[in-house]
Structure 1
């Protein structure tokens, strides 16, 4: 269990609740300790592909499964359920992750909706939910201001280490419709962030139905009552769906205990020397005009176009990998969906290769090389995309092997051109090439030249 280390030292405990798709809270998340004075613990998802390198078909299949729960709620139907596939995939059963993904992408009646994902963690998850709905427009929040794009709205994520979120749609009219709005995050802890978002959106354009969608729902009765009260006050309907429910038991003094624990440990940064492996580049020939993600909006026709080119771009990566047995496809902060789908294509093209997917992040987390802890190793490197809030440290977790764990023999780093800089070459790439040969695949940041 990747929660045992934190549980034994801080007294934090995961308590399972509803299991609507056959997996419980304690199998979907582990625990780590944040380097954040406002929240001591971090839930580390086993299906998100953010901090833990994960089979991309499990990541995408889980997102599609969450989207199926949303689709069924919007249509008033019973959702298609995965049987034991999700639980089997979490246990590493051969073929289960691909089976889950294939089951969940079977054609269903499409639904028109607006799907909003939260940066940085839920950008690909929101994309996957929109994919499952078939007819949805997708937009994710961003911490990257882009010249030429007006801010539609902003909201605050109260527990986050970096709270400025922007909505920057290329066409604001796509948001100004009375269709259901689906707000997607990796977890619902209190629900305050999504309720704040609903209130802000509703003030601009009232809508009749909102759905909160998360991998795990940890809200208590007071939090649920707050959601119902907001729905009554706004005269709208607000529903919530999740793959699993439950709650986190936190002892008194958890913030102080967490800070003391962090202060007493070195942080587990992997001691990686100067790089000696090759860094090569792959020319994906990303389709002209296709958005790299949902920062400025992603339409069903964009999704159809990406699907047509995925296998071709996967073959480009295959050609650049050579003889590999364990490959990590590493995305870049908010750029999660394109790397996820490329990793999925790579996994399909190389059935005998263990392909994993994760991304870099701004989130500072304590790393402890212990089997009972979710974040075993961390790489620390400088930001490399000229961030609006100034330079700072960035992290890649569980990429270095740690004790008793096998490393990767190839790393594919997928980055947008805004992040493909000299600072990347001098920073993260230097850390990665000390571990394995690196293949860099750059995609154009949509709207960068607007």
Structure 2
């Protein structure tokens, strides 16, 4: 059986339409089908760099634009006008549009000292970029417990394939105090995850202001999220690049089961001969500079990372003219994004994407959001046990000249060499494994 976007939408009865000012959801989003009994549809962002290899300058610019909207609402200004036509042009790949969009986005520091919280796994780089725009402290949730670092809280993401989130700041004081909290996610659907987060944090570290910054605000009409936060004694504002209405029939989960039943089942993860990368690089980060926001990334760290990036990018061995993919791994998105963006700014031909925990239906049909996919076993000894991992839309044999895979030390394992690296081998002429310190 083959599926197209229209057939998936028609059979599911799922339709996405614009619901307010901002970018057009038809440009920013594609539609795919999850392999998840709790939710049928997957809105696939074309600016996030998660499921679609994307120009890293576009991914970063989207986060900077979102940070600007957050700064406006924090400071009580009218939200700035988004460069919608330029954003649409960048998503469509028009020459020079992503570069111009990045220059237009810029930094947007708020007069208020805010803490930014990003959601694992999809919004860790987006949250980091919003924090960069605000020159703010940053923390993202994680699904990986770390020995020696106590949890400062947790919450659940009820519809997710992996539901439990932990907050593991190296300094628990990062979450304390009354400064505004900016929560960043790629998609705001029901608002339950945001409410779960605010409720959990407000019980231990109450504050007066919360802001949700999201690429797509797809809350249903009559959403009570703002009122429910107000009942806690706090104010909530929501800013978004795009406002969408997602029309779902009451029996959407049953419809999804029927559609999945007509698609070839998820194949078992193949057994592959272990493979070493063609080259291996251990990043020489400056002392004290974190590799991301899992345990906190402070306002002063943004400038330190900016200063270090040119040398870090040169160390990766990317050659001009090569078609290069920089591939982050699950929650490790922000540093790979900045490496890819730095290479693109230097004139290299680079796309950015990230592996995922989320199983979804892959169909090679024009217009469908997930055309290809690879499956491989987890390689970081996850606390919730072994399981498959995925990377989408990487194309077929020979799609890239060079793939740069970025992992942190817990993910630099024999399982990586028996899973992801051999799965990537047919897609590229050479592979570089980059390990954060």
What interval of TM-score do these two structures reach, taking the shorter chain for normalisation?
over 0.9
How do 1:112-131 residues align onto structure 2 when only pairs under 5 Å count?
112-131=113-132
In the alignment, the residues of structure 2 paired with residue 438 and residue 19 of structure 1 have an alpha-carbon distance, to the nearest angstrom, of: 43
**What secondary structure is seen at the aligned counterpart in 2 of 1:439?**
strand
2:346 to 349, 365, 368: 349
Alpha-carbon offset, residue 119 of structure 1: 0.6
How do 1:326-405 residues align onto structure 2 when only pairs under 5 Å count?
326-351=323-348, 353=349, 355-401=350-396
Output one character per residue of 1:23-58: Cα deviation in whole Å (capped at 9) or x when no partner: 211211110000001111100001000000000010
Counterpart in 2 of 1:92? 93
**What secondary structure is seen at the aligned counterpart in 2 of 1:221?**
coil
Alpha-carbon offset, residue 157 of structure 1: 0.4
In the alignment, the residues of structure 1 paired with residue 265 and residue 335 of structure 2 have an alpha-carbon distance, to the nearest angstrom, of: 30
Whether 1:408 and 2:403 are equivalent positions in the alignment is no
Q: TM-score, normalised by structure 2?
A: 0.94
CA RMSD for the aligned pairs? 2.2
Give yes or no for contact 1:412–1:441 (8 Å, CA) kept in 2.
yes
**What secondary structure is seen at the aligned counterpart in 2 of 1:242?**
strand
Whether 1:222 and 2:222 are equivalent positions in the alignment is yes
Give yes or no for contact 2:64–2:107 (8 Å, CA) kept in 1.
no
In the alignment, the residues of structure 2 paired with residue 179 and residue 107 of structure 1 have an alpha-carbon distance, to the nearest angstrom, of: 18
In the alignment, the residues of structure 1 paired with residue 108 and residue 18 of structure 2 have an alpha-carbon distance, to the nearest angstrom, of: 32
Output one character per residue of 1:271-295: Cα deviation in whole Å (capped at 9) or x when no partner: 9987999621234312232111110
**What secondary structure is seen at the aligned counterpart in 2 of 1:358?**
strand
Q: TM-score, normalised by structure 1?
A: 0.91
Counterpart in 1 of 2:58? 58
Output one character per residue of 1:226-285: Cα deviation in whole Å (capped at 9) or x when no partner: 223223322221111111112111123211221222232125779998799962123431
**What secondary structure is seen at the aligned counterpart in 2 of 1:69?**
helix
Counterpart in 2 of 1:440? 433
What stretches of structure 1 of length at least 5 have no aligned partner? 445-450
Alpha-carbon offset, residue 370 of structure 1: 0.8
Give yes or no for contact 2:180–2:208 (8 Å, CA) kept in 1.
yes
How do 1:32-431 residues align onto structure 2 when only pairs under 5 Å count?
32-83=32-83, 84-106=85-107, 108=109, 111-134=112-135, 136-223=136-223, 226-266=224-264, 279-317=278-316, 320-322=317-319, 324-351=321-348, 353=349, 355-401=350-396, 407-431=399-423
Alpha-carbon offset, residue 3 of structure 1: 4.0
**What secondary structure is seen at the aligned counterpart in 1 of 2:151?**
coil
CA shift in 2, pair 1:400/1:143, >3 Å: same
336-345 vs 269-278, which deviates more?
269-278
The count of aligned residue pairs is 432
Give yes or no for contact 2:326–2:336 (8 Å, CA) kept in 1.
yes
Counterpart in 2 of 1:448? none
What stretches of structure 2 of length at least 5 have no aligned partner? none
In the alignment, the residues of structure 1 paired with residue 270 and residue 201 of structure 2 have an alpha-carbon distance, to the nearest angstrom, of: 46
In the alignment, the residues of structure 2 paired with residue 176 and residue 187 of structure 1 have an alpha-carbon distance, to the nearest angstrom, of: 26
